[in-house]
Amino acid sequence: MGKLPKWLLGVAAAVYLFLHAPLLVLVAFSFNDSKFSAGWEGFTLRWYERLLERDDLVHSLWVSVEVGVISTLISTLLGTMLALGIARHRFSGRTFLESLLYVPIVTPEIVVGISLLILFVFLKMTLGIGTIVIAHVAFNISFVTVVVRSRLEGMDRNLEEAALILGADEFTTFWKVTVPQLWPGILSGALLAFTMSFDDYVITSLVTGPGSSTLPIVVYSMVRKNVEPSINAISTIILVVTAALIWASDRLSQDKPLTPH
Protein backbone atom coordinates (compact mmCIF):
# COMPACT_ATOMS: atom_id res chain seq x y z
CA MET A 1 0.00 0.00 0.00
CA GLY A 2 3.05 2.22 0.36
CA LYS A 3 2.98 3.39 -3.26
CA LEU A 4 -0.47 4.98 -3.01
CA PRO A 5 -0.62 8.78 -2.62
CA LYS A 6 -1.46 10.01 0.87
CA TRP A 7 -4.58 11.93 -0.17
CA LEU A 8 -6.04 8.76 -1.66
CA LEU A 9 -5.53 6.85 1.57
CA GLY A 10 -7.07 9.81 3.37
CA VAL A 11 -10.21 9.70 1.23
CA ALA A 12 -10.53 5.93 1.72
CA ALA A 13 -10.08 6.26 5.49
CA ALA A 14 -12.72 9.01 5.60
CA VAL A 15 -15.19 6.85 3.67
CA TYR A 16 -14.66 3.89 6.00
CA LEU A 17 -15.17 6.22 8.95
CA PHE A 18 -18.39 7.53 7.35
CA LEU A 19 -19.66 3.98 6.79
CA HIS A 20 -18.90 2.64 10.24
CA ALA A 21 -18.69 5.46 12.79
CA PRO A 22 -22.46 6.20 12.85
CA LEU A 23 -23.24 2.58 13.72
CA LEU A 24 -20.49 2.39 16.34
CA VAL A 25 -21.79 5.59 17.93
CA LEU A 26 -25.31 4.15 17.89
CA VAL A 27 -24.11 1.02 19.66
CA ALA A 28 -22.04 2.96 22.21
CA PHE A 29 -24.98 5.15 23.17
CA SER A 30 -27.23 2.13 23.76
CA PHE A 31 -25.23 1.78 27.00
CA ASN A 32 -25.51 5.45 27.92
CA ASP A 33 -27.18 6.21 31.24
CA SER A 34 -29.13 9.24 30.05
CA LYS A 35 -32.62 9.61 28.74
CA PHE A 36 -31.59 12.42 26.39
CA SER A 37 -29.05 10.29 24.70
CA ALA A 38 -26.69 12.99 23.45
CA GLY A 39 -24.15 13.40 26.28
CA TRP A 40 -22.33 10.50 27.95
CA GLU A 41 -23.57 9.94 31.51
CA GLY A 42 -22.14 6.54 32.36
CA PHE A 43 -22.69 2.86 31.59
CA THR A 44 -26.06 1.14 31.94
CA LEU A 45 -27.97 -1.87 30.66
CA ARG A 46 -31.36 -0.46 31.54
CA TRP A 47 -32.36 0.26 27.92
CA TYR A 48 -32.00 -3.44 27.21
CA GLU A 49 -34.09 -4.29 30.26
CA ARG A 50 -36.67 -1.80 29.05
CA LEU A 51 -36.95 -3.74 25.76
CA LEU A 52 -38.08 -6.90 27.54
CA GLU A 53 -40.94 -4.99 29.16
CA ARG A 54 -42.40 -4.12 25.76
CA ASP A 55 -44.78 -6.93 24.81
CA ASP A 56 -45.35 -5.55 21.31
CA LEU A 57 -41.61 -5.69 20.61
CA VAL A 58 -41.20 -9.24 21.88
CA HIS A 59 -44.29 -10.34 19.94
CA SER A 60 -43.04 -8.67 16.74
CA LEU A 61 -39.71 -10.46 17.12
CA TRP A 62 -41.57 -13.80 17.01
CA VAL A 63 -43.59 -12.69 14.00
CA SER A 64 -40.35 -11.73 12.23
CA VAL A 65 -38.72 -15.05 13.05
CA GLU A 66 -41.80 -16.97 11.89
CA VAL A 67 -42.06 -15.02 8.63
CA GLY A 68 -38.29 -15.23 8.12
CA VAL A 69 -38.08 -19.00 8.65
CA ILE A 70 -41.11 -19.90 6.50
CA SER A 71 -40.25 -17.54 3.65
CA THR A 72 -36.60 -18.63 3.73
CA LEU A 73 -37.53 -22.32 3.50
CA ILE A 74 -39.87 -21.74 0.54
CA SER A 75 -37.63 -19.31 -1.35
CA THR A 76 -34.52 -21.45 -0.81
CA LEU A 77 -36.27 -24.56 -2.11
CA LEU A 78 -37.78 -22.83 -5.15
CA GLY A 79 -34.65 -20.74 -5.84
CA THR A 80 -32.35 -23.77 -5.69
CA MET A 81 -34.61 -25.71 -8.05
CA LEU A 82 -34.63 -22.77 -10.45
CA ALA A 83 -30.84 -22.53 -10.31
CA LEU A 84 -30.48 -26.26 -11.04
CA GLY A 85 -32.88 -25.99 -13.97
CA ILE A 86 -31.13 -23.00 -15.49
CA ALA A 87 -27.56 -24.17 -14.97
CA ARG A 88 -28.07 -27.80 -15.96
CA HIS A 89 -30.58 -27.81 -18.77
CA ARG A 90 -30.91 -26.43 -22.27
CA PHE A 91 -34.41 -25.25 -23.02
CA SER A 92 -36.17 -22.69 -25.15
CA GLY A 93 -37.10 -19.44 -23.44
CA ARG A 94 -33.94 -19.42 -21.34
CA THR A 95 -33.04 -15.79 -22.04
CA PHE A 96 -36.59 -14.78 -21.28
CA LEU A 97 -36.55 -16.66 -17.97
CA GLU A 98 -33.23 -15.06 -17.02
CA SER A 99 -34.55 -11.55 -17.62
CA LEU A 100 -37.70 -12.50 -15.71
CA LEU A 101 -35.45 -13.37 -12.75
CA TYR A 102 -33.75 -9.97 -12.86
CA VAL A 103 -37.00 -8.01 -12.64
CA PRO A 104 -37.43 -8.61 -8.88
CA ILE A 105 -33.83 -7.52 -8.32
CA VAL A 106 -34.23 -4.10 -9.98
CA THR A 107 -37.83 -3.27 -9.01
CA PRO A 108 -38.05 -0.63 -6.25
CA GLU A 109 -39.46 -2.02 -2.99
CA ILE A 110 -42.28 0.50 -2.89
CA VAL A 111 -43.47 -0.69 -6.32
CA VAL A 112 -43.32 -4.34 -5.21
CA GLY A 113 -45.27 -3.52 -2.08
CA ILE A 114 -48.12 -1.56 -3.63
CA SER A 115 -48.54 -3.92 -6.59
CA LEU A 116 -48.88 -6.86 -4.18
CA LEU A 117 -51.28 -4.85 -2.05
CA ILE A 118 -53.45 -4.30 -5.14
CA LEU A 119 -53.43 -8.03 -5.89
CA PHE A 120 -54.20 -9.10 -2.32
CA VAL A 121 -57.05 -6.63 -1.98
CA PHE A 122 -58.41 -7.66 -5.38
CA LEU A 123 -58.36 -11.33 -4.31
CA LYS A 124 -59.95 -10.30 -0.98
CA MET A 125 -57.12 -12.01 0.93
CA THR A 126 -56.75 -11.19 4.63
CA LEU A 127 -53.58 -9.16 5.12
CA GLY A 128 -51.32 -10.78 7.70
CA ILE A 129 -48.52 -13.27 8.11
CA GLY A 130 -49.62 -15.20 5.00
CA THR A 131 -49.44 -12.20 2.69
CA ILE A 132 -46.11 -11.09 4.20
CA VAL A 133 -44.64 -14.56 3.53
CA ILE A 134 -45.91 -14.52 -0.08
CA ALA A 135 -44.31 -11.10 -0.62
CA HIS A 136 -40.98 -12.08 0.97
CA VAL A 137 -40.73 -15.26 -1.09
CA ALA A 138 -41.51 -13.27 -4.25
CA PHE A 139 -38.53 -10.93 -3.76
CA ASN A 140 -36.17 -13.57 -2.32
CA ILE A 141 -36.37 -16.32 -4.97
CA SER A 142 -34.26 -14.39 -7.48
CA PHE A 143 -31.51 -13.68 -4.96
CA VAL A 144 -31.31 -17.32 -3.87
CA THR A 145 -31.20 -18.39 -7.53
CA VAL A 146 -28.29 -16.04 -8.27
CA VAL A 147 -26.25 -17.27 -5.27
CA VAL A 148 -26.90 -20.99 -5.84
CA ARG A 149 -26.34 -20.72 -9.57
CA SER A 150 -22.91 -19.13 -9.16
CA ARG A 151 -21.95 -21.99 -6.84
CA LEU A 152 -23.25 -24.54 -9.37
CA GLU A 153 -21.24 -23.01 -12.17
CA GLY A 154 -18.03 -23.21 -10.13
CA MET A 155 -18.60 -26.90 -9.36
CA ASP A 156 -16.65 -29.81 -10.79
CA ARG A 157 -19.00 -32.01 -12.83
CA ASN A 158 -16.52 -34.88 -13.05
CA LEU A 159 -17.66 -36.19 -9.67
CA GLU A 160 -21.22 -36.51 -10.89
CA GLU A 161 -20.12 -38.20 -14.07
CA ALA A 162 -17.96 -40.59 -12.08
CA ALA A 163 -20.95 -41.52 -9.92
CA LEU A 164 -23.08 -42.15 -13.00
CA ILE A 165 -20.38 -44.26 -14.65
CA LEU A 166 -19.97 -46.27 -11.45
CA GLY A 167 -23.65 -47.20 -11.69
CA ALA A 168 -25.50 -44.76 -9.43
CA ASP A 169 -28.81 -43.65 -10.89
CA GLU A 170 -29.53 -39.95 -11.34
CA PHE A 171 -31.44 -39.60 -8.06
CA THR A 172 -28.67 -41.18 -6.02
CA THR A 173 -26.09 -39.05 -7.82
CA PHE A 174 -28.10 -35.94 -7.13
CA TRP A 175 -28.56 -36.59 -3.39
CA LYS A 176 -25.18 -38.15 -2.67
CA VAL A 177 -22.93 -36.08 -4.94
CA THR A 178 -24.55 -32.88 -6.19
CA VAL A 179 -26.36 -31.74 -3.04
CA PRO A 180 -23.40 -32.19 -0.64
CA GLN A 181 -21.23 -30.10 -2.97
CA LEU A 182 -23.92 -27.49 -3.41
CA TRP A 183 -24.79 -27.27 0.28
CA PRO A 184 -22.65 -24.19 1.16
CA GLY A 185 -24.24 -22.29 -1.72
CA ILE A 186 -27.74 -23.28 -0.60
CA LEU A 187 -27.02 -22.28 3.01
CA SER A 188 -25.48 -19.01 1.92
CA GLY A 189 -28.54 -18.22 -0.22
CA ALA A 190 -30.83 -19.15 2.68
CA LEU A 191 -28.97 -16.88 5.10
CA LEU A 192 -29.21 -13.96 2.70
CA ALA A 193 -32.92 -14.64 2.18
CA PHE A 194 -33.48 -14.73 5.94
CA THR A 195 -31.54 -11.50 6.44
CA MET A 196 -33.54 -9.70 3.75
CA SER A 197 -36.82 -11.00 5.14
CA PHE A 198 -35.84 -10.08 8.69
CA ASP A 199 -34.81 -6.54 7.64
CA ASP A 200 -37.57 -5.65 5.26
CA TYR A 201 -39.69 -2.69 6.24
CA VAL A 202 -41.07 -1.06 3.07
CA ILE A 203 -42.79 -4.07 1.45
CA THR A 204 -43.90 -5.58 4.76
CA SER A 205 -45.49 -2.32 5.93
CA LEU A 206 -47.73 -2.34 2.85
CA VAL A 207 -48.94 -5.95 3.03
CA THR A 208 -49.19 -6.40 6.80
CA GLY A 209 -52.43 -6.57 8.75
CA PRO A 210 -53.53 -6.06 12.33
CA GLY A 211 -51.63 -8.18 14.85
CA SER A 212 -48.91 -9.19 12.43
CA SER A 213 -46.38 -6.38 12.87
CA THR A 214 -42.84 -7.55 12.25
CA LEU A 215 -39.85 -6.23 14.20
CA PRO A 216 -38.91 -3.55 11.61
CA ILE A 217 -42.47 -2.21 11.72
CA VAL A 218 -42.35 -1.77 15.50
CA VAL A 219 -38.84 -0.29 15.29
CA TYR A 220 -40.05 2.13 12.62
CA SER A 221 -42.83 3.36 14.87
CA MET A 222 -40.31 3.75 17.72
CA VAL A 223 -38.06 5.83 15.43
CA ARG A 224 -41.07 7.93 14.40
CA LYS A 225 -42.05 8.56 18.01
CA ASN A 226 -38.44 9.14 18.96
CA VAL A 227 -38.63 7.05 22.10
CA GLU A 228 -35.48 7.19 24.21
CA PRO A 229 -32.32 5.08 23.86
CA SER A 230 -34.32 1.82 23.70
CA ILE A 231 -34.09 2.24 19.91
CA ASN A 232 -30.31 2.23 20.22
CA ALA A 233 -30.55 -0.97 22.22
CA ILE A 234 -32.85 -2.80 19.79
CA SER A 235 -30.74 -1.48 16.88
CA THR A 236 -27.63 -2.91 18.51
CA ILE A 237 -29.28 -6.31 18.86
CA ILE A 238 -30.40 -6.25 15.20
CA LEU A 239 -26.88 -5.22 14.11
CA VAL A 240 -25.21 -8.01 16.06
CA VAL A 241 -27.63 -10.64 14.69
CA THR A 242 -27.33 -9.53 11.05
CA ALA A 243 -23.54 -9.16 11.27
CA ALA A 244 -23.36 -12.75 12.57
CA LEU A 245 -25.61 -14.03 9.76
CA ILE A 246 -23.62 -12.18 7.10
CA TRP A 247 -20.32 -13.34 8.51
CA ALA A 248 -21.58 -16.94 8.40
CA SER A 249 -22.88 -16.52 4.86
CA ASP A 250 -19.61 -14.93 3.74
CA ARG A 251 -17.60 -17.83 5.19
CA LEU A 252 -19.82 -20.37 3.45
CA SER A 253 -19.58 -18.70 0.07
CA GLN A 254 -15.77 -18.51 0.30
CA ASP A 255 -15.62 -22.17 1.18
CA LYS A 256 -14.41 -23.93 -1.98
CA PRO A 257 -16.60 -26.65 -3.50
CA LEU A 258 -15.37 -30.16 -2.82
CA THR A 259 -13.08 -30.97 -5.69
CA PRO A 260 -10.54 -33.74 -6.03
CA HIS A 261 -6.96 -32.48 -5.87
Partner 1 sequence: MNPRLWWLRWSSRRPGARAWSLMGPGTAWIVAFFMVPLLFMLAYSFMPKGLYGGVESGFTFEHYVRLFDPLYIKIGVRTLVYSLGCTAICLVFGYPVAYVISRAGEWRNLLVFLVILPFWTSFLVRTFAMIFLMRDTGLINTVLLATGLRTEPLEMMNTPFAVMTGLVYGFLPFMVLPIYSSLEKLDPSLLEAAEVLGARPAARFVRVVLPLSMPGVVAGSLLVFIPALGSYLTSDLLGGAKEMMIGNLVQNQFMVANNWPFGSAASFTVMAMVLAAVFVSLRVRDEPAGEAR
Residues of this chain, 174-233, that bind partner 1 according to CB under 8 A: 192, 195, 199, 201-202, 206, 216, 219-220, 223-224, 226, 231-232
Contact flag: residue 135 with partner 1 (CB under 8 A) = yes
Cα–Cα distance list, 251 to 16, 102, 158, 245, 248 (Å): 22, 25, 25, 10, 5
Longest CA pairwise span in the chain (Å) = 72
Residues 236-258 as b/e (b if ≥16 CB within 10 A, e otherwise) read bbbeeeeeeeeeebeebbeeebe
Selected binder of partner 1 within 61, 129, 132, 141 (CB under 8 A): 141
DSSP state of 257: P
Selected binder of partner 1 within 106, 165, 167, 225 (CB under 8 A): 106
Degrees (nearest 5) of the Cα angle 82, 143, 111?
A: 110
As a whole number of angstroms, the distance between CA 171 and CA 177 comes to 10
Q: Which is nearer to partner 1, 171 or 260 (CB)?
A: 171
Cβ neighbours of residue 160 closer than 8 Å, sequence gap 6 or more: 173, 177, 178
Q: Which is nearer to partner 1, 148 or 260 (CB)?
A: 148
Identify the three-state secondary structure at position 129.
helix
Selected binder of partner 1 within 59, 238, 255, 257 (CB under 8 A): 238
DSSP readout, 131-192? Answer: HHHHHHHHHHHHHHHHHHHHHHHTS-THHHHHHHHTT--HHHHIIIIIHHHHHHHHHHHHHH
Please report how close the Cβ of residue 240 comes to partner 1 at its closest, in angstroms: 10
Please report how close the Cβ of residue 186 comes to partner 1 at its closest, in angstroms: 14
Choices 60-68, 114-122, 153-161, 179-187 (CB under 8 A): range interacting with partner 1: 114-122
Q: Which is nearer to partner 1, 45 or 243 (CB)?
A: 243
Q: Which is nearer to partner 1, 42 or 260 (CB)?
A: 42
Please report how close the Cβ of residue 247 comes to partner 1 at its closest, in angstroms: 8
Contact flag: residue 121 with partner 1 (CB under 8 A) = yes
Choices 24-32, 52-60, 152-160, 179-187 (CB under 8 A): range interacting with partner 1: 24-32
Contact flag: residue 12 with partner 1 (CB under 8 A) = yes
As a whole number of angstroms, the distance between CA 60 and CA 169 comes to 47
Please report how close the Cβ of residue 36 comes to partner 1 at its closest, in angstroms: 6
Question: Which of these, 59, 13, 209, lies nearest to 120 by C-alpha position?
Answer: 209
Residue 176 burial (CB count, 10 A)? 13
Site string for partner 1, 68-97 (x = CB under 8 A): ----------xx-xx-xxx-xxxxx----x
Q: Which is nearer to partner 1, 107 or 259 (CB)?
A: 107
